Structure 1
Amino acid sequence: MTNRRDRFALAAVVFAIMLSQVLLYPGIDTLVAALGAETALDASMWFLAAEFAAFVAFAGVWGAASDAAGRRRAFVVLGALGGAVGYGLLAVLPRFTTVTFGTVLGVRVLQGAATIGALSLAMTMLMDLDGGHGRNMGAAGIAIGLGTAIGSPLGGQLYEVGPLVPLFAASGFLVVVAGLALFVEERAANPQRETFRRAVQTVRSRPVLGVPYAFGFIDRLTAGFFALVGTLYFRTVFELDPGATGAMLALFFAPFALFQYPFGVLSDRIGRTIPIVAGSAAYGLGIVGVGLAAGPRPAGAMLFVVGVLGALMAPATMALVTDMADATERGVAMAGFNIFGSLGFLAGILAGGIIASERGFRDAFLAVGGIEIAIALVMIPFFVSWRRRNPNDLEATAESADAGEAGQTEESPS
C-alpha cells in the first residue's frame, strides 16, 4: 500500500506543478501587458522562453545533485517553495514598484530554475517506485495531462477576475506541492562515492538515450508551439476570449490526461515501438489538421484527436528512459529527458513565434506537424534494429518484468 500511496502523492505533486504552469497560458498576452510589456507576440514569446531556458540550465543540476546525495524529497520541497516565491514576486512587483519587463524576465528565470527541480525530481521519484515503468510513467503522464487539462479552463476563468490572479494561484499551488512531498517515502538509491561525476559520465556513455530524448524534444516542441502560437491563434483568428481559449485548449489536454495511464500500461504489454513511432506520425498529422481547420469547431475536434494520440506516445517515451537507465542513474537520466524536453518547448516557442510572425499561422502548423512526422519516420530503423538485437528487451519481457514487480509490491503490506 505504501508504494501505491506514494505513486498517488507524487502524481499529485506533478499535477499541481503543471496546473500552476498552465494557468498562465490562456491569457498570456494580457498577463505580459500587465507586467509592463509593450507587445503581445514577442513579449509572450520571451516570457514563456525565459522559464524554459531556466529549465534547460538547471534540470541537470537538480538531478545530479539528488543522485549524489542519494535523496530527492528535500530537493522537491526546496524547489517547490522557491517556485512559489518566484510566482509570488511576479504577482506583487507591479503593485508595489515600477519594474522593467527585463526585470520581470529575470524573476521568471529564477522561478523556472526552482520549479524544474520540483518537477523533474518528482518524476524521478516515480521512477524509483516498483510496479512497472509504464505504470509509473503513466501515473506521471496522467498527472501532467490532468494538470494541463484543468489548468487551461481554470486559468481562463482566473484571467476574467484579473490579469495577475493566475500568478497568485500558481504560487499557492506550489506551496501545496511542498506539503505533499513531505509525505512521500525516500527511495533514492544509496549514494556512492563520486556519484555526481559517475552518473553524468554514464549518461554520456549511453547514446541510446538519445532516442527517447529526441522524441521528448520534438513532442515538447509541439507543446511549446501550442502554448504560444496555438493560444494566440485561437485568440486572434477565431477571436476567442481567455475563457474560451482555455476551454479550447482543454479539448486537447482532457483526453491527453484521461488516456495516459491506460496507454502507459499498454506500452508495458506491447512494447514502446508502436505507441512511440505510430503515435508520433499520427500526432503530427493531427497538428497539421488543427492548422487547416476552417473554424473553431473542426479545430476543436482535431485537438481532441491530437490529445488522444499524445496520450498514446507520451508515457511510452518516458518509460523508455527508465528502461534504458540504471537505478542509480535515473535522476540524471530523467533530468536529461527534461533538459531535451525543455529545449524542445523553448524551440517550439521561439521557432513557432518566428514562423507565425513571418509566414503566418498556417505555415507554422504545417512546419511543426511535419517535424513530428519526420522524427517518427527517421527513427523507424532504430526500433527495427533494436528489436532484432534485443528481442527480450523493452518489448517481449516488458509485460512479464513489470508484472513481476507489481506482484511483489502492490500486493505486499509495505
Structure 2
Amino acid sequence: MTAISLRARRERLAGLLTVAAMLLAFALANSPLEDLYRLIHHTPVSIQVGQFRIDRPLIIWINKGLMVFFFLLIGFEVKREILEGRLSDRKRIALPALAAVGGMTAPAAVYLALNAGTATTEGWAIPTATDIVLALAVLSLLRPRVPEMLIVFLTALAVFDDVGAILVIALFYSEGLSAPALALAGVGIAVLVALNRYKVIETIPYVLGGLFLWATVLKSGVHATLAGVVLAFAIPLRVPTAQGDVSPLRRMEDHLHPWVLLGVVPLFAFFNTGISVSGLTAEGLWTPVALGIILGLFLGKQLGIFGATWLAVRLGAGRLPPEVTWTQIYGVALLGGIGFTMSLFITSLAFEAPDALVSARSAILLGSALSAVTGLLVLHFGSFPRSAERQVSSTQGGQ
C-alpha cells in the first residue's frame, strides 16, 4: 500500500470516527447520562510547569491544548504545499485561491445580513470555515467516479480556507492582550526562527520551543492554537546533510497525522457536539444566529465558491482543471459547506451564552449535513466512473 493510499484511507476512517464521536456525544447529551457527560466536560485539570500552575476544565484543555496539534498539522500541510506542492505553481493556485475567498466572503455576508444590528454579529466567521477532513472524507466516497484533479482542487481550496480561518481567529477573536506575554512569545518565535536558520533537524528543540510558545501565547490573549501554525512554519521542510536530504517537517507530519485525525479531531467532536434537544425548539432554529449559519453554510458557501470559480474562468484569471466539469465544481462548492470542526471551534470563541451556543452548534450540524448530502448526490449523479470513461474513450478510438 502506497503512502498516498494509506493517507486517503486514514482520512476516510477519520471522517467516520468523527461522525461516530458526534453521534455518541449527541446520544449521551439526550440520555440519562447527560449529567455525567457534562461532568466530564468540566472536570478540572491542572498542569504545573515550574512555578506556574494552570487550572482549566478538561474541555478547555482540549479546545486550547490538543487543538494546537490540529493547527500544527494544518501548518505543515500549508507550508509543504506552498514550497513544493499544489500551491507552488501560481497558475494552478489562482482558481482554488479565488474560490476560497468567495467561499469565505459570501457566507459571512449572508450571516451579517441576517444578524445586522444585533449582539450576535460576533458569529459572522462561523459559516466561513470548511472542514478539510470531513469534506475530503465525503469526496473520497466517490473516488472511483471523480477525477483526481477534482480532489486536488478541493484540497487546495480547503488549504486556502484554513489559512483564512487562521487569520480570522488571530485578527478578530483574540482577547485582551498582555504585553509581557506577547514579548515572551516573541522570544519563543525568535528561538524557533534561529533553529530553522541553523538547520536543526532534531525534534526535541522544536518541541521545547513550541511548548514555551504555546504557554506564552495562552497567557497573551491571542488564541493559543495559533502557536501550532507558527511552530509548523519554523520547522524546515528540507535540510541537506552528508547522508542526503532530510525533511524534519515530513517526519513530524507523518508521526502526527494519524494521532490528530484519529484522536484529536474525534475527541474535539465528542466534547463539542453534545447538544441537548430538550432545550431546543423549532423557534431555536429560526433565530438570526441559526439561520445565518445554516444559510451561510448551505447557500453562502456554494454561491461563493461556484460564483468565484465561474467568474475567475470567465475573466481568464484561472481555468478548470483537466477532466473536471462544472457540475463537479458545483458539487465541490456544496461540500465546502461542511464547516463542522472549524465552525464549532470558532463558535466556542464567538459565543459564551448557553442559548447562543446551542443554537449555533445545532445550526452547524444541520447546515453541514445538508451540504454533505446534497454535494454527495450532485457528484454521484454528475460524474461517471473513471473506468467507464476510459472504456468509452477506447471504444471511440477503435471506431
What TM-score results when the alignment is normalised by the length of structure 1? 0.28
> Greater Rg, structure 1 or structure 2?
2
- More strand per residue: 1 or 2? 2
